[in-house]
Structure 1
Amino acid sequence: MPFIRVSYQEGQYKPEELPLISEVIMEGLVEHFNVPEDDFFQVFHAHKPYEFYYNRNYLNVERSDRLLYIQVTLKSGRSTAQKTGFYKSLAENLASKVNIRQDDVFAILVETEFEDWTFGNGIAQMIQTQENRKEGGLA
């Protein structure tokens, strides 16, 4: 049930790079968080340069205008090891598969609970299927 928002500065990524970025993110979610492959909800936002701000070297990370903000909203309950594994593989795989500098991969996880989601029809589907999902892991 993760929902992913990817923000970047307009003109920094070619349209053909965006599906590759999407695939890398999804692969990481499946590998590290046991997210089902069909649990796929992502949105990409291109921002004008005057709408996109960042510190070029905060915490000794050298960022460029190709910085990607990747926000993943997901169910709480992942371990620190899962999260750090996700961050590491995300940066490494975006670097190797899309030629994005690891310094330009900025990710944040926002944790929620089952009752915080509706996938349509005004129904909190995750509450109704919570018992079934316990058997297969968190998504």
Structure 2
Amino acid sequence: MPFIRVSYMEQQYESRQLEQISQTIMEALIQHFHVPEDDLFQVFHAHKREEFFYNRNYLNIERSNGLLFIQITCKSGRTVEQKRSLYDTLATKLSTAVPMRKEDVFIVLLETEFEDWSFGNGVAQMLQRREGREVSDGASED
């Protein structure tokens, strides 16, 4: 159930590269976080140069205008090793698939709980699943 936001400076990536970024992120989430293949929710945001700020050398990592901010919002509970493996896989695979610099892969993981999600209809579907209730389009939380 991850929700992914990817921010980048406009005109740094072509549409086919953005599609490759999307696919690579999803493959890594399936591999390391065991996300279902059909659990795909991603948005990409292109920013004008005057809207995109970053430190080029923070923590001695040399970043370029090809920087990608990848924000992954997901359910809590992954181990530190799963997170580290995800970060490494994303940087490595994006660097070859797009291609881009590993230094330009900036990842932020935000963890939430089941009650923090509604996938539509004003219903907390993941709470219903956990409670063993049927989840349907017209389900209510009563």
TM-score under structure 1 normalisation? 0.93
Gaps of 5+ in 1: 133-139
2:96 corresponding residue in structure 1: 96
Higher alpha-carbon Rg: 2
How far has the Cα of 1:130 moved from its partner? 1.6
| Separation in 2, partners of 1:52, 1:67 | 10
1:136 corresponding residue in structure 2: none
2:16 corresponding residue in structure 1: 16
| Separation in 2, partners of 1:34, 1:82 | 10
Q: Residue type of the partner of 1:87?
A: Y
What do residues 70-90 of structure 1 show as CA deviations (whole Å, max 9, x unaligned)? 000000000000000000000
| Separation in 2, partners of 1:23, 1:29 | 10
Give the 4+ runs in structure 1 shifted more than 3 A: none
1:135 corresponding residue in structure 2: none
Cα RMSD (Å) of the superposition?
0.8
TM-score under structure 2 normalisation? 0.91
Q: Which has the higher contact order (CA 8 A, sep 6+)?
A: 1
Gaps of 5+ in 2: 133-142
1:6 aligns with 2:6: yes
Percent identical residues: 62
